[in-house]
């Protein structure tokens, strides 16, 4: 049975073997509270890398039992990120999470050629799972945060990542819409050309496990009436599970419109590394971080 609301992940993850999360520079209350909540719920075990004195004080201030965690002392934020990555690489954790460390230092540790988490030729991409109250199921989308202007190869990777996340959420054959400004293939509008190529690749079995169609304007992808009015037919039209955006401008505007104006809740992670990486903002709520941890646990191997 597919997961249609984020809270359903909290129960579904219990059917999987428990994974260990390693938090990089976990010196802030939001990170520790979210990790503690996930530990209490039996979703994960956890290792916190950071300034041990600060971590223990945060735990004491918030009534959290610090003995629930393995604490690795590293008071420097950049070194803490590198240490967290090394623990994942050594098999001492299956999920990486960003704490109070800046995004550039966190990503630098993941991308390090000598001791990072990237296989040769791998592509990192951000995957979001957004819950819209007006839509009957979750929307899995990418990329809204990591790849600015993806080329065809990167769009293929994004497509495969959203398919993988959708399948982890119990959608046996997800419906993927390749988003552009128009559902017409326009030679001078490159996103429509790329979308047509990817859709044809899926038709021929080069992309597996999903219905993939495009180009599609957003209304055609998520609204059956719009699809019918415009004469767009197929498995995906009006019923998309996944949205692949043409660039970060389109993706980020959708993401922030969903969260800031529509009040949507979400989960998010970075795919493409040797382990799922949670790239939460310091401003994200504890609930968003909990859902992101749970999503990573569902997808971790």
Closest CA to 242 of 189, 202, 288, 285: 202
What's the confidence (pLDDT) of residue 285?
81
**282 Cβ neighbours under 8 A, 6+ residues apart:** 28, 30, 100
- CB contact at 8 A, 46 and 35: yes
- Dihedral pair phi/psi, residue 285, rounded to 5°: -70, 165
Query: How far apart, in whole angstroms, are the C-alpha atoms of residue 55 and residue 23?
Result: 12
pLDDT of the residue at 286: 82
CATH among 3.40.50.300, 2.60.15.10, 3.30.460.10, 3.40.50.10950 for 7-121+273-299:
3.40.50.10950
Residues 6+ apart with CB under 8 A from 195: 178, 179, 180, 185, 214, 215, 216, 244, 246
pTM, two decimal places? 0.94
Helix or strand run (H / E) with residue 250: helix 248-256
Q: Do the beta carbons of residue 232 and residue 223 sit within 8 Å? A: no
| Residue 242 backbone dihedrals phi, psi, to 5 degrees | -130, 140
Task: Name the CA dihedral angle for 297, 139, 279, 113, rounded to a multiple of 10 degrees.
Answer: 80
Q: Is 47 helix (H, G, I), strand (E, B) or coil?
A: strand
Mean pLDDT per segment of 10 residues, for the chain of length 301 residues? 94 94 95 95 97 97 97 97 97 96 94 94 96 96 95 98 97 97 95 98 97 97 96 96 98 94 95 94 81 96 89
Are 237 and 216 a contacting pair, CB within 8 Å?
Answer: yes
Length reported for the chain: 301
Half-sphere exposure of 34 (CA within 13 A, CB side): 28
125-261: CATH topology: Isopropylmalate Dehydrogenase (3.40.718)
pLDDT tens digits for range 34-70: 999 999 999 999 999 999 999 999 999 999 999 999 9
Bridge-based pairing state of the strands 44-50 and 125-131: unpaired
Reduced to 3 states (helix: H, G, I; strand: E, B; else coil), residue 238 is coil
Fold: same for 7-121+273-299 and 125-261: no
For 32, 56, 65, 243, 253, the CA distances from 61, given in Å and listed in that order, are: 11, 9, 10, 41, 37
Q: Where does residue 40 rank: exposed (0-12), middle (13-18), buried (19+ CB within 10 A)? A: exposed
Counts for the chain of helices (H) and strands (E), in that order = 11, 11
Q: Where are the domains of the chain?
A: 7-121+273-299, 125-261
In the chain the first and final C-alpha atoms are separated, in Å, by 20
**CB contact set of 257 (below 8 Å; sequence gap of 6+):** none
């Amino acid at each position: 049975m597919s997961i249609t609301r984020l809270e359903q992940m909290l129960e579904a993850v219990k059917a999987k073997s428990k994974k260990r999360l390693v938090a990089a520079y976990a010196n802030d209350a939001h990170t520790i509270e979210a990790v503690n909540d996930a530990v209490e719920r039996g979703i994960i075990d956890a290792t916190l890398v950071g300034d041990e004195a600060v971590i223990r004080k945060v735990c004491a201030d918030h009534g959290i039992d610090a003995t629930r965690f393995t604490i690795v002392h590293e008071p420097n934020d950049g070194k803490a990120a590198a240490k967290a990555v090394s623990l994942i690489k050594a098999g001492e954790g299956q999920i990486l999470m960003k704490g109070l460390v800046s995004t550039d230092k966190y990503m630098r540790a993941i991308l390090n050629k000598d001791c990072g988490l990237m296989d040769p030729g791998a592509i990192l991409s951000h995957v979001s799972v957004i819950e819209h109250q007006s839509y009957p199921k979750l929307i899995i989308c990418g990329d809204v945060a990591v790849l600015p202007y993806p080329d065809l190869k990167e769009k293929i990777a994004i497509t495969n990542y959203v398919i993988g996340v959708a399948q982890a959420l119990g959608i046996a054959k997800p419906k993927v819409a390749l988003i552009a400004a128009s559902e017409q293939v326009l030679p001078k509008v490159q996103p429509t050309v790329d979308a047509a190529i990817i859709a044809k690749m899926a038709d021929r079995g080069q992309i597996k496990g999903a219905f993939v169609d495009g180009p599609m304007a957003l209304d055609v992808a998520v609204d059956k009436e719009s699809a019918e009015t415009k004469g767009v037919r197929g498995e995906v039209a009006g019923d998309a599970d996944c949205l692949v955006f043409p660039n970060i401008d389109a993706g980020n505007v959708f993401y922030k419109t969903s969260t800031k104006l529509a009040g949507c809740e979400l989960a998010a992670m970075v795919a493409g590394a040797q382990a799922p990486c949670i790239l939460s903002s310091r401003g994200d709520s504890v609930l968003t971080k909990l859902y992101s941890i749970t999503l990573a646990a569902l997808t971790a191997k």
